[in-house]
Structure 1
Amino acid sequence: MEISAMNACRQVFPESRITTCYFHFAKNIMDKVHRVGLRDYYADRDDTSMYNWIRIFIGSALLPRDLFDERIWPYIERNVPQGRDSAEEVNVRSFATNYIGDYRKNHRKTWDQFDNDGPRTTDHAEGWHNQLRSLFPAVHPQLGLFLKEMRKEVNSQAIRGEELFKGQES
């Protein structure tokens, strides 16, 4: 979720809890691993320290906050991988301090999945969006066609909602 959308939600619904998508959290971490030049170290089959360290951090989003703060974060801090050479060591230390440390300090609340009873990914929304895109072959469909197809989709979703409410599965 974009920062501006999260801020708007907080302003309109101050009591709400905003949780980011677990898949995109993990993807964001992995993208950063690649961007800072640690991809080969992460994929090294002989030295799995970087791989394990990153996977522990990503998986920690599924653990209770107090367990993370008391046990997992100290473990992550104590076990930062060494790097296989001096240049890689600099990249690893910078990544650990500036990226992983910043995530913990400033964003832990939004990527915490432990108490999340709802979906942990946005796959359902992305799937529905892809389905909608398949209805319109053009980027800018005619207004009449757009309204007709949207009316059908809204009706279909309303019927599906009623079926689910009644306990029926389609």
Structure 2
Amino acid sequence: MRHIKRRYRRLTNYDLSSQNIVSDFETGMITAAETEFPQARMCGCFFHFCRSIWRRLQKEGLRNAFNRRLALRRCVRKIMAIAYLSLAVVRQNFQLFRQDATTQRLCHNCPGLRELLTYFQRNYLNGQFSPVIWNVYQRNMDNRTNNHVESFNKRWNAVVGRRHPNLWYFLKKLKTEERRGALSVAAVRRGDRPPVRKRKYRLLQERIDRLTNSYRNGQRTLNQYWDAMVYTVAQFN
């Protein structure tokens, strides 16, 4: 990453800096970013946060039960939705949720759920990925996920169109992408209107804003807000 910063400065005469860095949950990436950009806030991607829990669910053999049992789906999505709670109340409410009678009954009927809860507590509460990294309570949609990076990867693969292109073909496509990037930078510098966000994500952000404001204004209790966010999480998985 230090090499990238130097190359960027050499090519553009600008220092590469950022207030927020959104990444998936790779320890090496997070450590490198924190070292090279100490002023930036490190943010875990919410989509990858949910996928990590989903992968663990599958490892514990809960996939079929998840598809069959509504109560288990709500329970797992509530674990994911804890990222929308205020950072100050995350740990306490996870413990209350884990000790809740409904959760305990599900753990009895679906033994893998107990292991999933232990995994979450070990890795995302007390482990290397603390709540300050994955909590999205005060983040907007743009800083909640790194989907724009994933979209670029998908589009780039489509542009190249080959699994193992030769060097000259690859360079040709790279130059095309460079021109596209230059046009985008020029548009920003001219003050052109940014691309319109997809309707799906606009509506999702509006829903999150309404729920968050109703919680902050005292129109919803914390548990009502948390339960409502379960339906929002369903949009991500």
Shared topology, TM-score over 0.5? yes
Unaligned runs of at least 5 residues, structure 2: 1-23, 196-237
Specify the alignment match of 2:94 in structure 1: 73
Cα distance in 1, alignment partners of residues 58 and 163 from structure 2: 33
Does 2:54 correspond to 1:23? Answer: no
- Which of 100, 114, 128 is matched with 2:120 structurally? 100
Could you list the per-position Cα deviations for residues 101-142 of structure 1 after superposition, in whole angstroms to 9, with x for gaps in the alignment? 112222222211223343322221122122222222333323
Specify the alignment match of 2:132 in structure 1: 109
CA displacement at 1:25 relative to structure 2: 1.0
1:1-170 matches, within 5 Å, as: 1=24, 2-45=26-69, 48=71, 50-70=72-92, 72-79=93-100, 80-83=103-106, 88-89=110-111, 91-97=112-118, 99-102=119-122, 103-106=124-127, 107=129, 108-117=131-140, 118-169=142-193
2:106 and 2:113 in contact (8 A); partners too: yes
Cα distance in 1, alignment partners of residues 106 and 85 from structure 2: 27
Cα distance in 2, alignment partners of residues 61 and 143 from structure 1: 43
Cα distance in 2, alignment partners of residues 73 and 25 from structure 1: 16
Cα distance in 1, alignment partners of residues 107 and 40 from structure 2: 44
Could you list the per-position Cα deviations for residues 59-91 of structure 1 after superposition, in whole angstroms to 9, with x for gaps in the alignment? 111222013234x323322223324757x33x3
Q: 1:140 to 1:162 in 2, by over 3 A?
A: same
Q: Structure 2 length normalisation: TM-score?
A: 0.60
CA displacement at 1:12 relative to structure 2: 1.7
Q: Structure 1 length normalisation: TM-score?
A: 0.80
CA displacement at 1:166 relative to structure 2: 2.7
2:91 and 2:125 in contact (8 A); partners too: no
Cα distance in 2, alignment partners of residues 33 and 121 from structure 1: 21
Cα distance in 2, alignment partners of residues 39 and 140 from structure 1: 35
Q: 1:40 to 1:149 in 2, by over 3 A?
A: closer
Cα distance in 2, alignment partners of residues 130 and 42 from structure 1: 29
Cα distance in 1, alignment partners of residues 159 and 64 from structure 2: 41
2:43 and 2:134 in contact (8 A); partners too: yes
Unaligned runs of at least 5 residues, structure 1: none
CA displacement at 1:157 relative to structure 2: 1.4
Cα distance in 1, alignment partners of residues 132 and 99 from structure 2: 22
CA displacement at 1:22 relative to structure 2: 0.9
CA displacement at 1:148 relative to structure 2: 2.7
CA displacement at 1:162 relative to structure 2: 2.1
